[in-house]
Structure 1
Amino acid sequence: MRNAGLGSWPHRRARMAPKREAFTYDDVSTTYGELAVRTTRLAWRLRELGVRDGDRVAYLGPNHPSFAETMFATHQLGAIFVPLNSRLTPAEVGYQLADCGAHVLIHAPSHVTDHPRAVSLDSYEDWLAGGSDDFLDVPVDISAPALILYTSGTTGRPKGAVLTHANLLWNTFNLMIGIDLSTDDVALVAAPLFHVAALAQTLLPTFIKGGHCVITPRWDAEVCLDLVEKHGVTLMFGVATMFADVVASPRWPDASLSSLRVLLCGGAAVPDALIRAYQDRGLVFCQGYGLTETAPGATFLEAADSVARAGSAGTPVFFGDLRLSDTGEIEVQGPNVTPGYWNDPAATSAAFTADGWFRTGDLGRLLDGNLHVLDRLKDMFISGGENVYPAEVENALASHPDVAEVAVVGVPDERWGEVGRAFVRPRDGAAVDVASLRSFLSPRLARYKIPRYFEVVSSLPRTGSGKVLKPALRRLPL
Structure 2
Amino acid sequence: MPTPLTLAWHGDELLDDGMRELLCGPGAMFERRVEDVLGVPAEVFAQRAPHVPALLAGAAEHTPDLTYLAFADPSAHAVTFAEAHRLAVAYARVLSARYGIAKGDRVAVSAPNGLEHVLLWWGTLSLGAVMVGLNGWWTPGELDHGIGLTGPSVLFGSGKPLVRLAETRAAADGVPVVSLDELHAAAAAQAEEPATSPGAVIDEDDPAAIMFTSGTTGRPKGATMSHRNFVHFGLFGGLGGAVDTLTGPPGRRQVPDGAQRASVFANPLFHISGACFALANAPLYGIKLVLPPPGRWDEEAALRLTHDHGLTQWTGVPTHFWRMLTHPRFAEYDTSRVTTIGSGGATFAPELLRLFEEKMPGVGITNGYGMTETTGTGTFLNGREMEGHPASVGAAAPTVRVQVRDEDGNPLPEGEVGRVHINGAGVFLGYWGDEKATAEALTPDRWYRSSDFGRIVDGVLYLESRMRDLIIRGGENVYPIEIEYRLVEHPDIADACVIGVPHTVLGQEVKAVVVPRDGARPTAQAVRDWVAAGLAPFKVPAHVEFRDALPYNETGKVIKRLLEEAPAAGRDHAM
Same fold (TM over 0.5): yes
> CA offset at residue 203 of structure 1?
5.4
Question: CA contact under 8 A between 1:321 and 1:334: conserved in structure 2?
Answer: yes
Q: How many residues align?
A: 476
Deviations 1:79-99 (A, max 9, x none): 111122212222212221221
Question: CA contact under 8 A between 1:272 and 1:311: conserved in structure 2?
Answer: no
Taking a change above 3 Å as real, the CA distance of residues 202 and 61 of structure 1, as seen in their structure-2 partners, is closer
* Counterpart for residue 360 of structure 1: 450
Question: CA contact under 8 A between 1:4 and 1:139: conserved in structure 2?
Answer: no
Point out the more displaced range, 249-258 or 389-398: 249-258
TM (norm. structure 2) is: 0.79
**2:379 equivalent to 1:333:** no
Give unmatched runs, 5+ long, in structure 2.
1-48, 246-254, 407-416, 568-574
Cα RMSD (Å): 2.1
Question: CA contact under 8 A between 2:468 and 2:481: conserved in structure 1?
Answer: no
1:117 corresponds, among 176, 179, 183, to: 176
Letter in 1 for 2:144: G
Question: CA contact under 8 A between 2:233 and 2:280: conserved in structure 1?
Answer: no
Letter in 2 for 1:91: G
Counterpart-to-counterpart distance in 1, 2:212 and 2:388: 36
* Counterpart for residue 57 of structure 1: 107
Alignment of 1:65-76 (within 5 A): 65-76=115-126
> CA offset at residue 74 of structure 1?
0.6
* Counterpart for residue 393 of structure 1: 483
Counterpart-to-counterpart distance in 2, 1:109 and 1:127: 19
2:222 corresponds, among 152, 160, 164, to: 160
What percentage of residue pairs aligned between the two structures are identical? 33
Deviations 1:261-295 (A, max 9, x none): 11002121110010111122212211111111110
Point out the more displaced range, 69-78 or 16-25: 16-25
Give unmatched runs, 5+ long, in structure 1.
none
* Counterpart for residue 473 of structure 1: 563
**2:330 equivalent to 1:267:** no
Question: CA contact under 8 A between 1:187 and 1:234: conserved in structure 2?
Answer: yes
* Counterpart for residue 42 of structure 1: 91
Counterpart-to-counterpart distance in 2, 1:46 and 1:450: 37
* Counterpart for residue 9 of structure 2: none
* Counterpart for residue 188 of structure 1: 264
Computing the radius of gyration over CA atoms, which structure comes out larger, 1 or 2? 2
Deviations 1:301-344 (A, max 9, x none): 24465444434322111111001123422111111011211111
Question: CA contact under 8 A between 1:64 and 1:215: conserved in structure 2?
Answer: yes
> CA offset at residue 476 of structure 1?
4.0
**2:56 equivalent to 1:10:** yes
* Counterpart for residue 31 of structure 1: 80
Question: CA contact under 8 A between 1:9 and 1:208: conserved in structure 2?
Answer: yes
* Counterpart for residue 179 of structure 1: 241
Letter in 1 for 2:314: M
Point out the more displaced range, 265-274 or 299-308: 299-308
Point out the more displaced range, 299-308 or 367-376: 299-308
User: SS in structure 2 opposite 1:461?
Assistant: coil
Question: CA contact under 8 A between 1:200 and 1:296: conserved in structure 2?
Answer: no
User: SS in structure 2 opposite 1:322?
Assistant: strand
Letter in 1 for 2:324: V
User: SS in structure 2 opposite 1:206?
Assistant: helix
Point out the more displaced range, 138-147 or 227-236: 227-236
TM (norm. structure 1) is: 0.94
User: SS in structure 1 opposite 2:496?
Assistant: strand
* Counterpart for residue 82 of structure 1: 132
Question: CA contact under 8 A between 1:7 and 1:74: conserved in structure 2?
Answer: no
Taking a change above 3 Å as real, the CA distance of residues 303 and 24 of structure 1, as seen in their structure-2 partners, is farther
Alignment of 1:423-462 (within 5 A): 423-462=513-552
Taking a change above 3 Å as real, the CA distance of residues 154 and 110 of structure 1, as seen in their structure-2 partners, is same
Taking a change above 3 Å as real, the CA distance of residues 203 and 12 of structure 1, as seen in their structure-2 partners, is closer
Point out the more displaced range, 286-295 or 460-469: 460-469
* Counterpart for residue 137 of structure 1: 199
Deviations 1:211-270 (A, max 9, x none): 222122452111111111111111221111000001120122453111111100212111
**2:157 equivalent to 1:107:** yes
Counterpart-to-counterpart distance in 2, 1:367 and 1:465: 32
Say which structure, 1 or 2, has more relative contact order (CA 8 Å, 6+ apart).
2
Counterpart-to-counterpart distance in 1, 2:501 and 2:444: 34
